[in-house]
Amino acid sequence: MAHDQHDAQEQRRQRIAMYGSAYDMLQNAIARYPHEMWQYRPTPQDFTIHEILVHITDSEVNSFVRARRLIAEPGSAVLAYDEWAWASKLSYHAQSVDDAVELFRWLRGNTYKLIRDLPDAVWSNTVVHSENGVMTMDDWLDDYTRHVPEHVAQMERVYQTWRAETAK
């Protein structure tokens, strides 16, 4: 049992480190994509790179609050949100990507400092997500550790589609 617990703690430490490195991953991705294609939308069902970057920050705002609810108010409720409605009604294309990415850096960095040394017992705390049900602190970490890499892959797909379109 102690070996399994040690493995779980080590896996969590690795996920926390990956979670903490998301800003650097995002910066490296941003540097790959020419600004002139950031408004490119491959299909009506796709976000543009500009929208993806603002979405990542809005998601991080929710993550910031959810982490604190998990730590300080276990058992409380957290709300889902409609990312398409946010992108449209909050005029993502009118928002500054630079401001969004800087806000992401602050939010992610602050939460990383908060979670990196949490006692093991806190990781089993739960909240109730309005769409997904019960979520543990470990579930939260898994979701948000994957969030930026998933969107970096999405940005790459948008970029590759743009390149193929402009090569014609």
Looking at residue 29, what is its pLDDT? 94
Domain membership of residue 33 as a residue range: 2-166
Looking at residue 73, what is its pLDDT? 97
Looking at residue 7, what is its pLDDT? 83
Looking at residue 45, what is its pLDDT? 93
Long-range CB pairs of 149-156, under 8 A, 24+ apart, other chains included: 149/22, 149/25, 151/52, 151/55, 151/56, 152/25, 152/26, 152/29, 154/47, 154/52, 155/29, 155/33, 155/49, 155/52, 156/29, 156/32
Looking at residue 12, what is its pLDDT? 94
The three-state secondary structure class of 103 is: helix
Tokens of 103: 């806000």
Looking at residue 72, what is its pLDDT? 97
> Which of 152, 148, 140 is closest to 21 using CA atoms?
148
Looking at residue 9, what is its pLDDT? 85
Q: How many domains are there within the chain?
A: 1
Looking at residue 2, what is its pLDDT? 63
134 forms bridges with which residues in the sheet?
A: 128
152: CATH: 1.20.120.450
The C-alpha angle 71, 23, 72, rounded to 5 degrees, equals 5
Ranges of the chain with pLDDT below 70 = 1-3
